[in-house]
Structure 1
Amino acid sequence: MKIAVLSGKGGTGKTLVSVNLAAAAGQAVYADCDVEEPNGELFFKSKKLKSEAVKIKIPQVDVNKCNGCRACVDFCKFNALAYIKNRVFVFEELCHSCGACMLLCTQQAITEREKNIGQIEYGQSNGVAVCTGIMNVGEASGVPIIKQLLAKINQYDNGDKFIDCPPGSACTAMESIKDADYCVLVAESTVFGLHNLKMIYKLVSFFSKKFGVILNKYDKTIDNPIEKFCQQKDIKILGRIPYDEKIAQINTAGLILVRTATEYEIMFKQLLQTITKEIKNETAIDS
């Protein structure tokens, strides 16, 4: 199973949930797709860490061969090319590396060069294969890194795969959930948390993904707008993580709850069982 964990913003508890679900599974794969600020590895502290570069192809123009026809400029829907003062300019930040400009050029004036935009690190942590995408500072898009990262985790066969998605609902989040079998939406029990939940609720609904919600920093003594929203939309609440100072202390120390305290090991194993049961039920309904 591929289980994607999302949140409407950073700091909601997405990494807390995905790291501990992977640890609770024992034999599993954890993929940190939050390539701008990955932090899952801070908890897993993997051994035998290796890395591989992520590169994209960027067009380059031979001005001596270019006849100024502008076919490449007119075709590019991302405005990554412009014809200025008798030559074609390439705006790398806008380029999506589709290669169409090179194919269109009748003069063979356009070739491609490789550009390093980041890397993937991977290692092992007590049975969990940990894979992390890291984007170089200043790059425009982390999508190519996420694509390579998800291809990497497909090479592993040691259990379920937990995808720690980027926060929000931008292109990187979309790429992260494309092949997911189930999505876990993590939300804080506040009015602002409800706003963020609605954002990713629309995202997973658009992709027709099966999903459920986990309430983080839950306080049963306070009126909870997210519970009301889930009831109205008939959304499954998978679990509630309590507002607990001990959780904050363990998490701040860079430790994994499941590997540190028995009560949290039990809590996340029960949560994983609930998610697994929900996926099986959804699969049975679809078949």
Structure 2
Amino acid sequence: MKIAVLSGKGGTGKTFVSVNLAASIKHCIYVDCDVEAPNGTLFFKPKMLESKEVTVAIPTFQLEQCTGCKQCVAFCAFHALAFVKQQPLLFPEVCHSCGGCKVVCPYNAIDEEEKRVGSVMKGISGTTAFVSGKMDVGQVSGVPIIKAILSQIKNEKNVIIDCPPGSGCMVMESIKDVDYCILVAEPTEFGRHNLEMVYELVKVFHKKFGVVLNKCTESDNPSERFCHEEHIEIIGRIPFDREIGKKNSEGEIAVYSNETAIAAFDAIRKRLEKKVRC
């Protein structure tokens, strides 16, 4: 099974759920796609085995061959190209590295060069394999890095993907090939709003999904009310527990030693096994 863990914002417990669920599954692969702020390493503390850079192709121009026909500018749907003083000008921040401008140029005036945007790392922590990526400072999009990460686990089973927060392009890239999505929500009105946001996303992608309610207390839970209103299945409840919170804040994986966490994640794992087989 290939499971993606999502949340509408940071701080709901997405990584907490991801690392503890991965640790509770024998011989699992934990994948950290939160490439802007990857923190799975703080919990698994993996022995790194491999690291490689991620690059994208950026167009370069042979000005002596350019006639100013502007076919490349007309082709670019992202407005990454313009002509200024009869010379082509590239805005690399919005270039999507599609290579189309090179294809349409009738005068072979466009080449490509590789530009580094980040890196991908692989490691091991006990019986858990570890794959993560990190976007270089100043880069606009982490999508190329997420693509590079996911290419490492294309044919693997028992994969837990720790997605970026929110519902943008990087999240969409992270979930497009998964079997099931877990939406993590906290018991506040803000948590309900952000749950609704990722709920709409997984519906667009026609993914099977369920909700894990984190930090549950005896008080009213707006996120739980939303699940009941929308007939969304709740596949797990994790109680508000000071010991679990302390372990998480100290970079410890709770299922290694906390009985409450062990019981909660064992129940979630068993329900997932049934759901993904359906």
Scaled to the shorter chain, the TM-score interval is over 0.9
Instruction: Give the letter for the 1:216 counterpart.
Output: N
Q: What is aligned with 2:244?
A: 247
What is the aligned partner in structure 2 of residue 236 from structure 1? 233
Map Cα deviations across residues 226-259 of structure 1 (whole Å, 9 max, x no partner): 2221112111001111111111110111111111
Q: Secondary structure of the equivalent of 2:171?
A: helix
Tell me which residue corresponds to 2:204: 206
Larger mean Cα displacement after TM superposition, 116-125 or 263-272? 263-272
Alignment-derived partner of residue 92 in structure 1: 92
Conservation of the 8 A alpha-carbon contact between 1:26 and 1:126: no
Residues 128-139 of structure 1: pairs in structure 2 closer than 5 A: 128-139=128-139
Which consecutive residues of structure 2, in runs of 5 or more, have no partner in the other structure?
none
The answer (yes or no) to whether the contact 2:66–2:109 under 8 Å persists in 1 is yes
Task: Find the counterpart in structure 2 of residue 181 from structure 1.
Answer: 179
State the partner residue of 2:29.
29
Equivalent residue letter for 1:32: D
Q: Deviations over 1:38-79 (max 9, x none)?
A: 001110011143201111000001111100000000110101
Aligned to 2:188: 190
Count of aligned pairs = 278
Give, in whole Å, the separation in 2 of the partners of 1:122 and 1:162. Answer: 14
Query: What letter matches 2:26 in structure 1?
Result: G
Tell whether 2:254 aligns with 1:266: no
Separation in 2, partners of 1:262, 1:233: 32
Note the C-alpha offset of 1:187: 0.5
Whole-Å separation in 2 of the counterparts to 1:232 and 1:49? 47
Q: How does 1:1-287 map to 2 (within 5 A)?
A: 1-154=1-154, 157=156, 159-220=157-218, 222-280=219-277, 283=278
**Distance (Å, rounded) in 2 between the aligned partners of 1:141 and 1:266:** 38
**Does the 8 Å contact 2:102/2:111 carry over to 1?**
yes
Extract unaligned runs of 5+ from structure 1. Answer: none
The 8 Å contact of residues 215 and 238 in structure 2, kept in 1 or not, is answered as yes
The list of structure 1 runs, each at least 4 consecutive aligned residues, that deviate by more than 3 angstroms after superposition, is: none
AA matched with 1:196: N
State the AA in 2 paired with 1:63: L
**Is the 8 Å Cα contact of residues 29 and 129 (structure 2) preserved in structure 1?**
yes
How many Å apart are 1:165 and its aligned residue? 0.4
* Structure 1 residue identity aligned to 2:67: N
Return the offset for 1:268: 1.0
Structure-2 separation of matches of 1:48 and 1:80: 37
- 1:279 deviation in Å? 2.2
Residue type matched to 2:162 in 1? Answer: D
* One-letter identity of the residue aligned with 2:268: L
Distance 1:24 1:64 in 2: 61
- Cα distance in 2 for partners of 1:65, 1:200 equals 48
Write the distance in 2 (CA, Å) between the matches of 1:101 and 1:34: 31
Q: Distance in 2 between matches of 1:137 and 1:190?
A: 33
TM-score by length of structure 2 reads 0.98
Structure 1 vs Structure 2 CA RMSD = 1.0
CA distance in 2, matches of 1:270, 1:244: 17
Helix, strand or coil for the counterpart of 1:153? coil
* Paired residue type of 1:211: F
